């Protein structure tokens, strides 16, 4: 059996030693802050005692044809990212987490994912970083892809410890660390709503796009739309903050009921502008952060139908505020969904990478504080406060069909034009105004 000795913190903090695949498997939810579903998780190890370092998670690609390239990209991302922090990994631990499909056994899941595990081990080895352990976790059981000894790693796998009974669970309880639940549960709070109450949301987004996109293409109109968007967002944050408290299980439902279709559409479309989104990112700490987080979550849930790609902006803001306020697991989940909505969304890419590498968000907070203080202070605030009073009840937008040959607001082309991008620089060069 392979022995592993890994500490969970720096030398001046309490050290937890994990020995063998069983304790590694039990530690995974505490490393991530949730139970991963359908995920590849890679964790860097540093030093002779195997201190945990950077980690990353990705949904397991459905097509095995994608596994070789995915393995190479994940290995390079983890190793190169650690090197940029000045600390190349000495080893890597891999977890493949997936529950059985209908008619499938956990053992069959393990065998089906074996080529992916081998590809990851090969990709890490090509970068001269060994894989110390590779585990498959499925339906409460685990297998080691690295241990050939059937006495400790039998073909039928081993059962995970009962929740809360492992060494890591005891240490996490002592440290006040909580596991949120499954990744699926956390993602559900940010996914598009499927209730009958949002049946008119796509129509509201169509109408808002038809009204706002032509204004955004005009320089003065763009500034006015930005002011209106931020003012309306502030008004909605105030509304959420002043709403009566409710049970946590009903909080999202209450937030959804407090925001109309037209209000959600106006802010979602307004946030597609990079500068507007960056100003909204300044609501990242203090009393603003909680209500901003609730608003960004609610808006993410309103990006329904053909507007799924528009969720990248509110999801990225959700991830940023979560990370800024110390919720790294929530940040990783939100930023991962943002990149699913728009894989080229650079702001989400940068935040996701920084969060996975364990960087301190204070550097970005200082930058945003500086941007906020450098703007024309008092007059700008007076203008926004005045606009906020007008924006609490935004003017109704007449909903109409798009004319032949026009750009539909829900399309990628419309979003890029609204950002001021050029077709010649579709990969996001700074000259085109692509979202960073």
Model confidence pLDDT, tens digit, residues 106-134: 999 999 999 999 999 999 999 999 999 99
Rounded Cα distance, 295 and 15, in Å: 39
**Residue 294 shares a structural domain with residue 242:** yes
pLDDT tier for residue 376 given thresholds of 50, 70 and 90? low
Residues 155 and 205 in one domain: no
Q: With H, G, I as helix, E, B as strand and everything else as coil, classify residue 61.
A: coil
Same domain, 223 and 359: yes
Q: Give the whole-angstrom CA distance, residue 421 versus residue 436.
A: 12
Same structural domain, 129 and 232: no
More confident: 179 or 23 = 23
Residues 86 and 143 in one domain: yes
What stretch of H or E contains 43? strand 39-46
Is 135 found in the same domain as 271?
no
4 inside domain:
no
The answer to whether position 6 is within a domain reads no
Residue 164: its pLDDT value, please? Answer: 56
Please say whether the dihedral angle defined by the alpha carbons of residues 387, 392, 393 and 395, taken in this order, is positive or negative.
Answer: positive
Residue after which a domain boundary falls, among 183, 201, 224: 183
* 246 confidence band (pLDDT: 50, 70, 90): confident
The answer to whether the CB of 107 falls within 8 A of the CB of 139 is no
Alpha-carbon span 188 to 374, nearest angstrom: 38
pLDDT digits (tens, 9 = 90+) for 145-170: 998 888 888 989 999 876 655 666 65
Q: Which domain holds residue 62?
A: 20-183
Q: Give the separation between CA 414 and CA 402, rounded to whole angstroms.
A: 12
Please give the tally of structural domains in the chain: 2
For position 358, what pLDDT does the model report? 75
Tokens linked to 320:
């940023």
Position 13 in a domain:
no
pLDDT by residue (tens digit) across 58-112? 899 999 999 999 999 999 999 988 888 788 999 999 999 999 999 999 999 999 9
Which residue has better confidence, 401 or 204? 204
Could you tell me if 79 and 208 lie in one domain? no
For residue 7, tell me if it sits in a domain: no
Segment 382-401, tens digit of pLDDT: 555 554 444 444 434 434 34
Same domain, residue pair 84 and 162: yes
pLDDT at position 423 is 32
Give 218 or 49, the one with higher predicted confidence. 218
On whether both 329 and 206 belong to a single domain, the answer is yes
pTM of structure = 0.69
Do 295 and 175 lie in a common domain?
no
Same domain, 393 and 332: yes
pLDDT of the residue at 255 = 95
| Residue 50: per-residue pLDDT | 78
**Is 12 a domain residue?**
no
Q: Which has the higher per-residue pLDDT, 52 or 383?
A: 52
Within this chain, do residues 347 and 291 fall inside the same structural domain, yes or no?
Answer: yes
CA distances from 332 to 269, 383, 433 (A): 24, 35, 26
- Residue 96 counted as domain residue: yes
* Four-residue CA torsion sign, 347, 309, 113, 31: positive
């Amino acid at each position: 059996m392979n022995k592993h000795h890994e500490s969970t913190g720096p030398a001046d903090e309490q050290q937890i030693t994990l020995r063998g695949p069983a304790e590694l498997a039990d530690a995974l939810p505490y490393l991530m802050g949730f139970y991963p579903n359908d995920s590849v998780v890679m964790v860097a190890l540093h030093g002779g005692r195997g201190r945990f370092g950077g980690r990353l998670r990705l949904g397991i690609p459905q097509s095995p044809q994608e596994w070789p390239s995915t393995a190479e990209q994940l290995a390079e991302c983890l190793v190169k990212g650690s090197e940029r922090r000045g600390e190349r990994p000495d080893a890597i631990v891999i977890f493949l987490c997936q529950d059985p499909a209908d008619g499938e056994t956990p053992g069959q899941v393990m065998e089906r994912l074996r080529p992916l595990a081998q590809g990851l081990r090969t990709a890490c080895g090509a970068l001269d970083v060994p894989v110390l352990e590779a585990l498959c976790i499925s339906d409460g059981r685990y297998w080691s892809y690295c241990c050939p000894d059937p006495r400790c790693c039998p073909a039928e796998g081993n059962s995970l410890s009962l929740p809360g009974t492992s060494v890591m669970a005891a240490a996490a309880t002592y440290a006040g660390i909580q596991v949120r639940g499954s990744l699926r549960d956390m993602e559900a709070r940010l996914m598009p709503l499927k209730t009958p109450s949002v049946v008119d949301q796509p129509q509201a987004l169509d109408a808002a796009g038809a009204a706002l996109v032509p204004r955004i293409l005009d320089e003065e109109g763009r500034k006015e739309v930005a002011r209106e968007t931020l003012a309306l967002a502030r008004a909605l944050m105030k509304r959420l903050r002043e709403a009566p408290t409710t049970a946590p299980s009903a909080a999202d439902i209450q937030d959804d009921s407090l925001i109309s279709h037209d209000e959600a559409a106006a802010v979602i479309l307004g946030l597609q502008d990079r500068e507007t989104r960056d100003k909204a990112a300044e609501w990242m700490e203090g009393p603003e952060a909680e209500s901003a987080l609730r608003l960004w979550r609610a808006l993410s849930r309103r990006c329904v139908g053909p507007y799924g790609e528009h969720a990248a902006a509110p999801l990225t803001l959700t991830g940023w505020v979560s990370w800024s306020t110390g919720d790294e697991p929530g940040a990783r989940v939100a930023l991962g969904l943002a990149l699913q909505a728009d894989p080229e969304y650079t702001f989400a890419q940068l935040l996701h990478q920084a969060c996975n590498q364990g960087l301190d968000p204070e550097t970005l907070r200082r930058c945003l504080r500086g941007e906020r203080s450098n703007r024309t202070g008092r007059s700008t605030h007076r203008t926004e406060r005045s606009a906020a009073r007008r924006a609490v009840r935004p003017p109704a937008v007449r909903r109409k069909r798009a004319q032949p040959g026009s750009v539909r607001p829900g399309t990628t082309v419309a979003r890029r034009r609204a950002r001021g991008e050029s077709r010649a620089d579709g990969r996001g060069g700074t000259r085109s105004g692509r979202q960073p």
